[in-house]
Amino acid sequence: MLCLFTFFLTACGEEQVASSGSSQPVAEQEVYEWKMITSWPKNLPALGTSPEYFADIVETMSNGRMRIRVYGANELVGGLEVFDAVSQGVAEIGHTGAYYWQGKIPGTPFFSSIPFGMTSYEQDAWLRFGGGNELWQEIYAPFNLIPVRGGNSGTQMFGWFNKEINSLDDLQGLKMRIPSLGGEVFRRAGGVPVTMQVSEVFTALQTGALDATEFVSPYNDLAAGYHTVADYYYYPGWHEPGSTLETIFNKERFEALPEDLQMILMTGAEVMNQTLLDELTAKNNEALRSLVEEHGVELRRLPDDVLIELRRISDEVVQEMADADEATRRIYESWSDFREGVMNYNSIAEEALIEARKLPAN
């Protein structure tokens, strides 16, 4: 059992097996020591530090009854092995991205990010109030997993390149670390997508094994040091307009917990979900200014004709994925209907306000 039962000494020196009832003194209650594995390097800002924050919240809220040790990528398992490891009980919790598991479950990208899809708050709203959570839990249940939101990157940058992109011709044969549907779109546009865990990307760029990489946004990218091994920084992040990260629990072990600890874990995940997005939103502008003004990074916007073609291909790829099986079709219909509705509203809300803010003050 990875869920360890802790025995505490009584006043007379005898050991007693603690009960899990919340009405008993803390020293007499069962203490759970769990492992949490992630797909990110240890202590990477936001992505790597948020699981540690989650663990601290859970331990405090549980008054020490739930203690979680966090492992970065490759400390216990590889970053792309998190799904299987949590499913099998190697660790009780994982923090990762759903789109990594498309080879196992075709519809998983809808629970992470879809090219030219929904923004962070639109995606969160679909998951919480639009039926997304229920569909997500349904497709993970056969793998002994419970998924919940574990953060959102917000709209990402397209990434780091060692050559300029002036037209579609410049994508031909370009080796880029770009996962999931974005990678398939990139392939059909003429590029060579590479799936690679984050910890290997810097060296691959440095040695020329990669020509380009996407990662997250300025705050994380600055910390990763990509500006020292790539010349151009391209936007917008069409491939990941609002990527949900996932917290996954081993279903059997989660459901064996007392109800109050289950609720504490879920609440901690929700706090992490919002905190991670808030941190990135607050820090990205400062980091981008540092990249451009202090490190001389060349910030570039993708040409319109490139974006138009990538959008055309993206629609084609998403439609093909939707036809993979009955479950994916239902996910797509739910996601697509919600996206259409929220886009209609945002055209007179968020988008209209953003355009209004650009008007001259005088």
pLDDT at 27: 55
Residues found in the chain: 362
Asked if 239 and 136 count as a contact pair (C-beta separation under 8 A), the reply is no
What's the CA gap between 107 and 289, in Å, rounded? 37
Indicate whether 231 pLDDT > 60: yes
What is the DSSP code string of 103-128? TT-TTGGGGT--TT---HHHHHHHHH
Residue 226 corresponds to which amino acid?
Y
pLDDT digits (tens, 9 = 90+) for 76-123: 999 999 999 999 999 999 999 999 999 999 999 999 999 999 999 999
Which residues lie across from 213 on neighbouring strands?
A: 160, 177
The model's pTM: 0.86
Q: Where are the domains of the chain?
A: 7-152+242-282
Q: Which residues lie closer than 8 Å to 304 by C-beta, 6 or more apart? A: none
Asked if 88 and 143 count as a contact pair (C-beta separation under 8 A), the reply is no
Does the domain spanning 7-152+242-282 belong to CATH 3.40.190.170?
yes
Q: In 3D, which of 118, 97, 123, 125 has the Cα closest to residue 109?
A: 97
pLDDT digits (tens, 9 = 90+) for 53-84: 999 999 999 999 999 999 999 999 999 999 99
Q: What are phi and psi of 120, to 5 degrees?
A: -60, -50
Residue 5 corresponds to which amino acid?
F
